[in-house]
Structure 1
Amino acid sequence: MLPPDRRRGPQKTATASRMEGRSMTEVATLQERYAEVTGRIADAAQRSGRRPQDVILVAVTKYAEPDQIKTLVEMGHRHLGESQAQQLEQRAAIIDEYAQRLRLLERTRRSNIAEIDPSLLPAETDDPVRWHMIGHLQRNKAKKIAPLVRLVHSVDSLRLAEELQQIGLKKDIDIEVLVQVDCSGEETKHGCPLPAAFPLAEQIETMAHVHVRGLMTMAPHTDNPEDARPVFARCRELFDEIKTTGIGEGKFNLLSMGMTADYEIGIEEGANIVRVGSALFSS
């Protein structure tokens, strides 16, 4: 992943002129935080024997201001995540239109997406921004967000998968998903039980418009990030077991583990997608 653009010169870039309407202190703070997070991702990837570009950073925009998201897009970041369907719909309407205009102005600007292994990405599209639905998705909200997202991280039941299949059939679209697994045993956590994950993935495999790409899990909220390690290790073991069956025709290769408090642990345990919000956008 590319660090924030730090080019210097007497002339202002187009990006700099667009940022002038915002506090330059706020812009600099976001750039510094982005560099910190991507640097930590790179270090964790190297510790696990992988390249930094093998890990996708999903910037979770739940608590971000629209101008902060625009700044991130201007910096070249493309993967954005939301946990609530209504907010994703609202944010996508604003940010996608802005990103399209931005691309018209800067068609030659390099994006960090080009450096990520293409086999690790949701299906390639020409979209300048790729939205991820990372929170619990109610079936009655799926219709609105399905056409907007590149990856749904939170499919935890056959009923939700069937709803997405019907949406895909009616709209003639393909929807890529992760099976959310409860590896911690916490009653408050969404996700299917460990023994149910493979059967659910097999059932999704039979659907024409829903494609299973991997697993997602969440660790318990604790003061010690190391508490997440055994949870992530269990999910990685399950991921490897399912992957060896050949499900997904070789495209079962996405493992989403780790948030702001524990994303480095997630990467060390095999995650190639991390979901980070407050480390980027907290006040």
Structure 2
Amino acid sequence: AYDAGQRDFGENRASRLLEMAGLLPADARWHFIGHLQGNKVGRVRPAVHLLHSLDRADLAGYWVKGPGLPPPVLVQVNVVAEPAKAGVAPAETESLVEAALALDLEVRGLMTIPPLPAVPEDSRPRFRELAALAARLARRWPGLTELSMGMTEDFEVAVEEGATLLRVGRAIFGPFPESGRRE
């Protein structure tokens, strides 16, 4: 993919991102899209171009520590209120954006991962909800322009609903050998 011109790559596990980042030239841009524990921030932050999964205020505090400017972030929103899924509730998104901005983090937008759809159309209400929330927040903070939503199974619907960033790793690289959802 890199040889074909692709420069943006994503990972949802810190160890995998660090491993893969060492294999590609320095102009590859790494997006971290998974749950990030505070104790792993120091190792991951230098390799990341964009953090898609800011889901709590303490993570924002960890993210700003370290040399230089921290990479920009997206706030992860749990649009389905699934306890097993990471992300802030839609009603709490504005507070997390405020907390991140108060730490001088560059918040570029929002991210969501809805449940794996039976058919792509099942994701549309979730994407629409995130896009509406993003539009409302962008009236206050015009810099919130990115919408990271849509995976291999439903990216076409995500694009129709305003996605600016897609996670389509399985469509490009095939399934990953380990268990779990990965893009």
8 Å contact kept, 2:45–2:70: no
Question: 2:86 corresponds to which residue?
Answer: 190
2:100, 2:23 → 1: CA distance?
Answer: 32
| 1:94-113 equivalence runs, <5 A | 94-95=23-24, 99=25
1:222, 1:199 → 2: CA distance?
Answer: 29
1:265, 1:133 → 2: CA distance?
Answer: 22
The TM-score with structure 2 as length reference comes to 0.92
- The question of 1:136 aligning with 2:35 is answered yes
Amino acid at match of 2:134: F
Deviation digits for residues 73-125 of structure 1, max 9, x if unmatched? 11111000000001101111121xxx2xxxxxxxxxxxxxxxxxxxxxxxxxx
Amino acid at match of 1:180: Q
The CA deviation at 1:138 is 0.9
Gaps of at least 5 residues in structure 2 are 176-183
Count of residues in correspondence between the two structures: 175
2:82, 2:153 → 1: CA distance?
Answer: 18
The CA deviation at 1:136 is 0.9
The TM-score with structure 1 as length reference comes to 0.60
Q: After TM superposition, where is structure 1 displaced by more than 4 Å over at least 4 residues in a row? A: none
RMSD: 1.2
- The question of 1:90 aligning with 2:19 is answered yes
Of residues 139, 142, 153, the one that matches 1:261 is: 153
Amino acid at match of 1:76: G
The CA deviation at 1:137 is 0.8
Higher RCO, Cα 8 Å, sep 6+: 1
Q: Secondary structure at the match of 2:46?
A: coil
| 1:92-171 equivalence runs, <5 A | 92-95=21-24, 99=25, 127-167=26-66, 171=67
1:135, 1:149 → 2: CA distance?
Answer: 12
Q: Which has the larger radius of gyration?
A: 1
Q: Secondary structure at the match of 2:92?
A: helix
